[in-house]
Structure 1
Amino acid sequence: MTTLVLASQSPARLQTLRNAGIDPVVIVSGVDESQVSGLAPAELALQLAELKCAAVATRDDLPAGSLVLGCDSVLELGGEALGKPEDATDAVRRWQAMRSRSGVLHTGHALRDSANGHVAAATASTTVHFADLSDGEIDAYVATGEPLHVAGAFTVDGLGGAFVTGIEGDHHNVVGLSLPLLRDMVAELGHAWTDLWARPTS
């Protein structure tokens, strides 16, 4: 069994991995995301993922031979990169701009083998189509607090799921982690995806 270390505090990423049979060790990177700016949305997502991975991969308390995964998601709307909203007012403004439109959710993935330092990195991109929300729906959604903690101010696996009318690409990527892409990256580093599956305790 190979141990996966998730360098993220995202509950959605953790749950996605657990649903796929993987029970990762969570070590939050603590990377200041504001230190990176001026990049195209897809490049921004990848660079932040690489920084998070690198920050955790150098720690002394990693399980031996583990794979360290850093991820970061950015919504591209009209060429602009949108991370987490600054506050409720910003989230409302985002949704007023997003309704009836489509954006591209980019998730950067960086995976490092702690045994030899080899790294695989890639970005998955998924097109998301948003519903035509009324002002009242936007205000009610933002008031729940859910949009304040996620890239693009929406979720597809929570309350925001009713406001997404369609997805082109990997559904899991919109949640924050592309399982098919991660499987390819695990293989690129010489490991078997099934070796990441948690073994039942007897």
Structure 2
Amino acid sequence: MPQLVLASASPARLATLRSAGFEPRVVVSGVDESQVSGVPPAELALRLAQLKCRAVAGGEDIASDALVLGCDSVLELDGEALGKPEDADEAVRRWQAMRGRSGVLHTGHCLRDVAGSKEAAATASTTVHFADVTDDEVEAYVATGEPLHVAGAFTVDGLGGGFVTGIEGDHHNVVGVSLPLLRGLVRELGHSWTGLWAR
């Protein structure tokens, strides 16, 4: 069976895939995300996922039968795409803007079959409802450093979980990879989802 390669440094994506039965090889793309701008948030997530996937799939050390998965997530709030905050001050401002409100987390997925030179891509979108957190809670959360490493400055599977009051859509998508969407991409490329499970 093909080797699954994750073109992402995200520990949450890796953990999600492992819990779903996979043991992917991780190869970080090194793509400069600033090269894509001026597009709507959902399209931005997809384009960045495609760039990351293609950069890794073209590497010399990638197995000829590999399936390479690139992902990228952004939070849409007031029509603006929010990735990882630049620093703690920006993370605080983000939370002051998000608290008590809802945003849409878009995750672009791009899966490339290296052997067949085929590619399938799509974006999953999940609405996230945020708690009306206090200034003290925001300061304490940002001080942990967690919000600085994730799109939208929050997690549902970590310390930020208590600040998310609900979601509409795929929970795994908010963590970083939509398993139902990925299953569809795997099947679109002619592979078996269960056949890729680590044995």
TM-score after normalising by structure 1: 0.98
Residue identity in the other structure for 1:59: G
After superposition, what is the alpha-carbon deviation per residue over 1:47-81, rounded to whole angstroms, capped at 9, x for unaligned?
00000001001011112311000000000001111
Query: Alignment partner of 2:106: what SS?
Result: strand
Q: 60-69 vs 95-104, which deviates more?
A: 60-69
Alignment partner, residue 179 of structure 1: 179
Residue identity in the other structure for 1:112: R
Alignment partner, residue 64 of structure 2: 64
Alignment partner, residue 82 of structure 2: 82
Residue identity in the other structure for 1:170: D
Alignment partner, residue 101 of structure 2: 101
1:158-173 paired onto structure 2 within 5 Å:
158-173=158-173
Shift of the alpha carbon at 1:89? Answer: 0.1
Shift of the alpha carbon at 1:196? Answer: 1.1
Contact 1:74 1:106 in 2 (8 A): yes
Shift of the alpha carbon at 1:34? Answer: 1.2
Unaligned stretches of 5+ residues in structure 1: none
Alignment partner, residue 15 of structure 2: 15
Query: Alignment partner of 1:104: what SS?
Result: strand
Shift of the alpha carbon at 1:111? Answer: 0.4
Q: Does 1:144 align with 2:141?
A: no
Residue identity in the other structure for 2:4: L
Shift of the alpha carbon at 1:135? Answer: 0.2
Query: Alignment partner of 2:69: what SS?
Result: strand
Rounded Cα–Cα distance in structure 1 between residues aligned with 2:25 and 2:141: 32
Rounded Cα–Cα distance in structure 2 between residues aligned with 1:96 and 1:135: 8
Rounded Cα–Cα distance in structure 2 between residues aligned with 1:30 and 1:195: 29
Alignment partner, residue 116 of structure 1: 116
Alignment partner, residue 127 of structure 2: 127
Alignment partner, residue 49 of structure 2: 49
Query: Alignment partner of 2:157: what SS?
Result: coil
Rounded Cα–Cα distance in structure 1 between residues aligned with 2:2 and 2:18: 15
Alignment partner, residue 38 of structure 1: 38
After superposition, what is the alpha-carbon deviation per residue over 1:85-117, rounded to whole angstroms, capped at 9, x for unaligned?
010000000000000000000000000000011
Alignment partner, residue 29 of structure 1: 29
Shift of the alpha carbon at 1:126? Answer: 0.2
Rounded Cα–Cα distance in structure 2 between residues aligned with 1:3 and 1:169: 29
| CA-based RMSD | 0.5
Greater than 2 Å deviation, 4+ residue runs: none
Rounded Cα–Cα distance in structure 1 between residues aligned with 2:3 and 2:169: 28
Rounded Cα–Cα distance in structure 1 between residues aligned with 2:55 and 2:27: 10
After superposition, what is the alpha-carbon deviation per residue over 1:9-55, rounded to whole angstroms, capped at 9, x for unaligned?
00000000000010001000000111111110000000000000010
Contact 1:75 1:81 in 2 (8 A): yes
Residue identity in the other structure for 1:181: L
Residue identity in the other structure for 1:78: D
Give the number of aligned pairs: 199
Query: Alignment partner of 1:116: what SS?
Result: coil
Contact 1:2 1:195 in 2 (8 A): no
Rounded Cα–Cα distance in structure 1 between residues aligned with 2:98 and 2:66: 39
Residue identity in the other structure for 1:142: V
